[in-house]
Structure 1
Amino acid sequence: MRKVIIIDGTHVKGKFVGCLLTASAHDGNYQIFPIAFGVVDSENNQAWSWFFNKLLAVVPDAEDLVFILDRHTAIYSGILRVYPMAKHCACLLHLQRNVQTIFKKRHLLYLLRKAARAYKMEDFYRHFNEIKVVDIIACADYLIRVGLEHLARSLFEGARYNIMTSNLAESLNAALSEAREYPIVPLLEYVRSMMMGWFATRREAAARNVGALTPKVAEILSKNFTDSTGYAVKVIINEEYKVVDGNGMYYRVDLERKTCS
């Protein structure tokens, strides 16, 4: 799997109130792969530090590890303490909600989404400058305080791939909405039973799958192949190519280094 882990916390609603902390990732077919669950009294520094220390046993700290999270200060504190080598970035969905709440301008959400998802720095700064013009710099200043490198794919130091939000964690919370009203032991038993069903179904699907790619990746590859047939490609040398897209833009692609100008 891509080494991108989504961190989230949600309320336990029953008689024994508290928070359910989760760590999850995308599997090779873009499905939820739960990694860890923890039940704590609340989302505080001590609780998150405990959770990350437990997580460390199965997910070791590494420079190519990435965490996606909302801007909860206790989560940041726990990651910096337990995972000092890993990178962390903001969930675009939570950031959009904050921008909507503070600035009350829906068109900013579109510009923020375009800027954050841009693959090239020049595209990011073009959309970011549009935000400055639209909102007289106030929103831009807020995003700078958040840290542009934490929200923009093109400026992020690690590899977050196409995973820009913690939607996966939201889906996991939705799947557990009924169980979050149970006492702790029945809640965890519900989680165990649910995961057992998921993995049994996926093993059967994987056994039927033909080829090296998962169905979702094969679908994405097919779409990209269709899009790329309009590109002109010429060899420069060895594994380097000049690629011209449908708009006449030139790019230098190095397949060995996996880079594109």
Structure 2
Amino acid sequence: MSAEVSFVADGEFAVRMEFSSREAVIKAMKEYTLRRSVDYRVYELEPLTFYAKCTQYGSGCDWLIRVSMISRKHCWVIRRYNGSHTCTRATISQDHSKLDSNTIAEAIKPLVEANLSLKVKSVISEVQSKFNYTVSYRKAWLAKQKSIEKIFGGWEESYEALPIWFEAMCHKEPSTVVHFETMPTYQGDDLVTDIRVLHRVFWSYYPCIRAFRPCKSIVQVDGTHLYGKYKGCLLVAVSQDGNNNIVPIAFAIVEGETSDAWHFFFSNLRQHVVTRDGVGLISDRHESINAAVERSHRAWSPPRAFHMFCIRHIESNFLRKFKAPYLQKLVVNIGYSQTVREYELCYQRLRERSEAYTNWLNRIPREQYALAFDGGYRWGHMTTNLVECINSVLKGARNLPITALVKATFYRLNELFTQKRAEAEARINNEVFEVCEMPSGVEYAVDLRGQRCDCGEFQVDRIPCRHVFACCANQRLDWQVYVHDIYKMD
């Protein structure tokens, strides 16, 4: 709003006040109305005129306003104004008809930009604080969706932009993997030619593919629902490196957790990312995942891969079946048993409670849920917690238009890899430490690069001393690097 005549002291309008557009007039009217807890009704809304009266006009309140477009000045001007309202609303804490979702969306934009996971309850609280009205859950939810659309663009336009963004990404980094599946469009029963819509998309950035090479031979997979305007599922695969860092390696957006969708994901994951054999695949016991593994032409079956289940999902399935929460811990302990003896002891304790429990457990091959029989392919991982961590990181992004969601995976991974690179370089460059022995308090200087320690053992024996071990443990370094070749088996 650019007003030639300013608001008077009490915030009222004035005749000859100018506005840059009709939208600016309406916005100012809404703000005025909400601030005073009054209401108005539009009697004329033409391309060149805006005319409104108080809803109590003729019943004790004479408030009205007429604003017209002045072509020669290229602005809207108040031509008639009867002064302030002489009525008030009895209840100002309830919702207001002029406090629509568009007004709220504009007001909460800074909050949404700062926190994509902003809860609808927080939107309601913000409206209460800012406007002194309590809006409905639906209006607040709709306002958040509109705010997201204002920031990140529309949902339909986002689908159209996705192939363009991926094309630019692949041009910049040709080793990035992107695979689309589309489906035909129908208008009624008639096929619309030359138009296809997105069905599924799989992608993996090259740094993720490369980062998987030195990772443990495990892959955890899980799906999580999208809750924007258009539904669907985000499928994610993660691994873990030797420093226990979580490494996301692949993503897909699909129609849902169907057998076909998981087959699409697993096929691309096997072809482009997880190309080595002897990999442990950990997932929940979703029927669609099992079906996709079975139809993978043994790509995810022994000896190329070993499909195992998350013990927490087995625990949850057990509880749903038997309603026996006091046995949950025992079921988990059976899975975590590291030796056959330990497994049999826990198994027998469960069987003593009821053979129905062990009969149910026997339907699951024990190599798929117990450490004692997994052949070492789990690397000690009993749950899908790694991938659930990534799902929580992307929680706010799952509410975004599709291109914004995909961009979020790129920028957050870029931030992660940049951070880990800096940490690694810091460890490489910082190879001189002070180690304090307790309880004596004696300090020793350790130079890993120069292979020297104040205690003398490191440089004399060419074997890491206890102070070197302390440095390696603190910095997550491989102590074997500092053992002289003469002591190695080769």
Whether these two folds match at TM > 0.5 is: yes
The residue that corresponds to 1:110 in the other structure is: 329
Q: Rg bigger for which structure?
A: 2
Q: Is the 8 A contact 1:100 1:109 kept in 2?
A: yes
Q: Distance in 1 between matches of 2:253 and 2:295?
A: 20
Q: Distance in 1 between matches of 2:259 and 2:371?
A: 28
Q: For structure 1, which runs of at least 5 residues remain unmatched after alignment? A: 222-255, 257-261
- The one-letter amino acid of 1:191's match is T
1:66 to 280, 301, 314: 280
The residue that corresponds to 1:205 in the other structure is: 423
Whether 1:151 and 2:151 are equivalent positions in the alignment is no
1:33 to 247, 268, 271: 247
The residue that corresponds to 2:7 in the other structure is: none
The residue that corresponds to 2:388 in the other structure is: 170
Superposition pairs of residues 244-255 of structure 1, within 5 angstroms: none
Q: Distance in 2 between matches of 1:81 and 1:157?
A: 23
Q: For structure 2, which runs of at least 5 residues remain unmatched after alignment? A: 1-214, 432-447, 450-467, 477-488
The residue that corresponds to 1:129 in the other structure is: 348
SS in 1 for 2:416: helix
Identity across matched positions, percent: 30
Q: Distance in 2 between matches of 1:61 and 1:201?
A: 27
Q: Distance in 1 between matches of 2:256 and 2:397?
A: 18
Deviation at 1:189, TM superposition (A): 0.3
Q: Could you say what the CA RMSD is over the residues aligned between the two structures, in angstroms?
A: 2.2
Q: Distance in 1 between matches of 2:473 and 2:383?
A: 22
The residue that corresponds to 2:402 in the other structure is: 184
Deviation at 1:106, TM superposition (A): 2.2
SS in 2 for 1:154: helix
TM-score (norm 1): 0.77
Whether 1:11 and 2:225 are equivalent positions in the alignment is yes
Deviation at 1:130, TM superposition (A): 0.5
Deviation at 1:81, TM superposition (A): 2.9
Deviation at 1:72, TM superposition (A): 1.0
Deviation at 1:30, TM superposition (A): 1.4
Q: Is the 8 A contact 1:4 1:68 kept in 2?
A: yes
Q: Distance in 2 between matches of 1:31 and 1:103?
A: 37
Task: Give the paired residue count.
Answer: 217
Q: Distance in 1 between matches of 2:319 and 2:388?
A: 19
Superposition pairs of residues 207-246 of structure 1, within 5 angstroms: 207-209=425-427, 218=473
Q: Distance in 2 between matches of 1:50 and 1:25?
A: 19
TM-score (norm 2): 0.42
Deviates more, 1:140-149 or 1:1-10: 140-149
The residue that corresponds to 2:260 in the other structure is: 46
Q: Distance in 2 between matches of 1:33 and 1:171?
A: 11
- The one-letter amino acid of 1:218's match is A
The residue that corresponds to 1:240 in the other structure is: none
